[in-house]
């Protein structure tokens, strides 16, 4: 069971702030949250929406219908009226928005309330949220606490003003409903009939759930992994990693650098990483494109580095504030020349934390660049995770640095010494008197000096390549996760990344209709082990690729890496919007009919 709430209005007037506040209130009431904001790539004048999906378990994705829609602008209603049902509640500004249709209407005189309290336009949101809470039958205290936390620095006057406005919205709706028996009856059949809302009317005594975006999860996991250098140039949708880590730097002492361009970003990170400090960079496709030459340097010089790539639709500037998965093959093939790299992808917050901490370990263990692939949907959407899970996770996590050492017994020390697993001892430079080596971007011999000798070249090429087979045969490589039973499934979904939530949701919906299905979910997307992956593709069900791009890149990767050609159908979406569970359900039903 899910509940969906959406607010929409003018860009630049606090829609995302009020949306996040509602998400926070719900998380503090013990509800699992998944939210999603749509906004244009401009600061003022466009149209912004914020959608919050609530559930009692952590599998929530976006819902097809809306349970409550708050419209501050006419187009907010017009664009989403097709998602309304007779049980939906529409809260609207009666001074500027006209609504018509079969749903529960709650008109709010926002303009006059605003004038009465001499409030700015952005404060209209506060009134609307107060009104929302009243309709939910929730008290306003959690909202007050958040106002105090968020506006604390702006002074008591601002806090009090917002509290008055929130209370005004709450009182107005309470009064409106209280004197209208007809309305009470309608609400009893809609919002009050929804147990998600009715059984979570009070905040929990302790904060049991954390609410964060994928970017915040990457940031947090980087701290947990003992990353001490983060380098970036702002680019949507990865920018909030930079701002989050920068805001934490006073505590963590991490060096968080906003550098002049992406080439400098990765160059500085490589210098820092070479010197033994765990380092990472973050960007989106365009910025990553600028970093690619240096990725190849990390490859040949065997410098550990984590690269966070939050995808948005390209090519070129593309759709900066929307979502997509068009850079999977770009990430896999990034860099000139041949060198090993590892690509991981996160489908939700918990996976992001697990995969990110692991990425730093893998970068050190295999002395390779590791790419953590995300997309706008997972990077910027907030979702809840269990606080206790996070605490337990951090307790048992110790960074694994592989063969990075502060002291070597080798004399002379050979930085690129050939070895059966391809991995050489990495003496952190400057640590041991008398020993030194170079991180050479030229091909080199074992002691790191430049070479053009044919035999030495082959030795190093093969040594580096061997690291990937070591990885694939180790416990570090994880074959895809399988949800459901492949053998009995008539439909088997194949996907990676943020589609996970929608697919898991669709799986339940299909199962409810007795359509047996399974889902193969990739987190370790490159390299792939044919031995471990191919057997998952020998069942008799229909294999359906689900991807947020137009070319079906994961299918191509499976073909080229694992000789898999069992995928016969593809659900591809490439309009900048995420894939919805109901779209998967419809696609599947059409397929099997």
Q: Shortest distance, CB of residue 501 to another protein, whole angstroms?
A: 19
Judged by CB under 8 A, which of 429, 472, 477, 582 binds another protein? 429
Q: Report the DSSP beta bridge partners of residue 35.
A: 52
**Residue among 183 and 259 whose Cβ is closer to another protein:** 259
Q: Shortest distance, CB of residue 210 to another protein, whole angstroms?
A: 5
Q: Report the DSSP beta bridge partners of residue 229.
A: 255, 279
E strands present in 11-120:
32-38, 47-55, 68-71, 89-93, 104-108
Decide: helix, strand or coil at residue 303: coil
Its sign, for the CA torsion 297, 314, 569, 521, is: positive
Give the span between the Cα atoms of 347 and 155, in whole angstroms: 39
CA dihedral 177, 183, 189, 195 (to 10 degrees): -10
For residue 232, the surrounding DSSP H or E stretch is: strand 229-232
**Residue among 239 and 267 whose Cβ is closer to another protein:** 267
Interface size with another protein, residues (CB under 8 A): 68
E strands present in 536-584:
542-547, 567-572
Which stretch in 49-57, 441-449, 564-572, 581-589 sits in contact with another protein by CB under 8 A?
Answer: 441-449
Q: Shortest distance, CB of residue 250 to another protein, whole angstroms?
A: 6
Q: Shortest distance, CB of residue 165 to another protein, whole angstroms?
A: 23
Q: Which residues of 353-391 are buried (b: 16+ CB within 10 A; e: fewer)?
A: bbbbbbbbbbbbbbbbbbbbbbbbbbbbbbbbbeeeebe
Q: Shortest distance, CB of residue 254 to another protein, whole angstroms?
A: 8
Which stretch in 23-31, 175-183, 191-199, 560-568 sits in contact with another protein by CB under 8 A?
Answer: 23-31
Give the span between the Cα atoms of 311 and 27, in whole angstroms: 27
**Best CA proximity match to 46, nearest among 71, 68, 23, 76:** 76
Judged by CB under 8 A, which of 96, 195, 388, 450 binds another protein? 450
Q: Shortest distance, CB of residue 359 to another protein, whole angstroms?
A: 17
According to DSSP, the β-strands at 209-213 and 382-386 are: antiparallel
Which stretch in 50-58, 60-68, 438-446, 468-476 sits in contact with another protein by CB under 8 A?
Answer: 438-446
**Residue among 382 and 501 whose Cβ is closer to another protein:** 382
Q: Shortest distance, CB of residue 221 to another protein, whole angstroms?
A: 10
**Residue among 132 and 451 whose Cβ is closer to another protein:** 451
According to DSSP, the β-strands at 426-427 and 209-213 are: unpaired
| Contact flag: residue 403 with another protein (CB under 8 A) | no
Radius of gyration of the chain (CA): 26
| Contact flag: residue 338 with another protein (CB under 8 A) | no
| Contact flag: residue 416 with another protein (CB under 8 A) | no
**Residue among 81 and 435 whose Cβ is closer to another protein:** 435
CB neighbourhood size of 306 (10 A): 31
**Residue among 293 and 421 whose Cβ is closer to another protein:** 293
Which stretch in 40-48, 76-84, 191-199, 243-251 sits in contact with another protein by CB under 8 A?
Answer: 243-251
Query: Would you tell me which residues interact with another protein (CB under 8 A)?
Result: 24, 27-28, 149, 207, 209-212, 216, 220, 223-224, 226, 228-229, 231, 248-255, 257, 259-261, 263-264, 267-277, 279, 293-294, 297, 301, 387, 390-391, 394, 399, 428-430, 432-442, 449-450
């Amino acid at each position: 069971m899910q509940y969906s709430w959406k607010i929409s209005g003018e860009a630049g007037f606090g829609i995302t702030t009020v949306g996040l506040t509602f998400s926070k209130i719900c998380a503090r009431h013990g509800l699992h949250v998944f939210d999603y904001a749509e906004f244009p790539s401009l600061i003022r004048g466009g149209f912004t929406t914020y959608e919050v999906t609530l559930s009692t378990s952590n599998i929530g994705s976006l819902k097809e219908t809306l349970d409550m829609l708050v419209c501050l602008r006419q187009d907010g209603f017009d664009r989403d009226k097709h998602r309304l049902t007779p049980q939906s509640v529409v809260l609207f500004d009666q001074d500027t928005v006209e609504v018509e249709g079969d749903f529960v209407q709650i008109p709010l005189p926002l303009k006059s309330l605003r004038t009465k309290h001499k409030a700015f336009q952005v404060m209209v949101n506060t009134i609307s949220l107060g009104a929302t809470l009243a309709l939910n039958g929730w008290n306003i205290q959690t909202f007050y606490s958040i106002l105090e936390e968020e506006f604390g620095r702006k002074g008591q006057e601002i806090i009090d003003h917002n509290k008055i406005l929130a209370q005004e919205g709450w009182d107005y709706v309470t009064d409106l409903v209280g004197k209208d028996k007809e309305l009470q009856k309608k609400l009893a059949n809609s919002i009050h009939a929804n147990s998600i809302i009715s059984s979570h009317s009070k905040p929990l005594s302790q904060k049991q759930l954390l609410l964060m975006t994928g970017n915040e999860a990457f940031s947090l996991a980087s701290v947990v992994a003992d990353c001490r250098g983060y380098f970036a140039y702002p680019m949507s949708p990865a920018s909030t990693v930079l701002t989050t880590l920068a805001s934490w730097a006073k505590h963590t002492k991490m060096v968080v650098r906003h550098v002049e361009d992406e080439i400098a970003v990765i160059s500085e990170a490589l210098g820092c990483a070479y010197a033994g400090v765990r380092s990472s960079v973050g960007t989106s496709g365009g910025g990553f494109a600028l970093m690619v030459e240096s990725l190849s340097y990390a490859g040949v010089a065997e410098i550990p580095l984590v690269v966070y790539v939050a995808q948005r639709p390209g090519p070129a500037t593309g759709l900066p504030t929307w979502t997509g998965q068009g850079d999977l093959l770009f990430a896999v093939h990034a860099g000139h020349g041949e060198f090993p790299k590892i690509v991981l992808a996160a489908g939700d917050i918990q996976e992001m934390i697990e995969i990110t901490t692991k990425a730093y370990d893998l970068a050190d263990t295999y002395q390779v660049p590791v790419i953590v692939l995300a997309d706008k949907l997972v990077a910027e959407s907030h979702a809840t995770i269990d606080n206790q899970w996070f605490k337990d996770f951090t307790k048992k996590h110790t960074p694994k640095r592989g063969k990075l050492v502060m002291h070597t017994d080798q004399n002379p020390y050979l930085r690129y010494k050939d070895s059966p697993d391809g991995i050489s001892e990495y003496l952190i430079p400057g640590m041991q008197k008398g020993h030194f080596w170079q991180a050479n971007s030229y091909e080199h011999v074992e002691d790191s000096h430049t070479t053009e000798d044919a035999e030495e070249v082959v030795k190093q090429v093969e040594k580096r390549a061997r690291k990937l087979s070591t990885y694939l045969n180790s416990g570090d490589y994880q074959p895809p996760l399988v949800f459901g039973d492949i053998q009995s499934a008539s439909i088997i979904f194949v996907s990676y990344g943020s589609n996970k939530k929608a697919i898991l949701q669709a799986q339940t919906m299909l199962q409810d209709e007795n359509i047996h299905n399974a889902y193969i979910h990739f987190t370790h997307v490159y390299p792939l082990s044919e031995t471990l992956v191919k057997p998952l593709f020998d069942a008799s069900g229909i294999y359906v690729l689900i991807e947020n791009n137009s070319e079906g890149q994961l299918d191509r990767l499976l073909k080229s890496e694992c000789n898999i050609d069992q995928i016969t159908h593809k659900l591809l979406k490439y309009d900048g919007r995420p894939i919805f569970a109901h779209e998967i359900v419809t696609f599947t039903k059409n397929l099997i009919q």
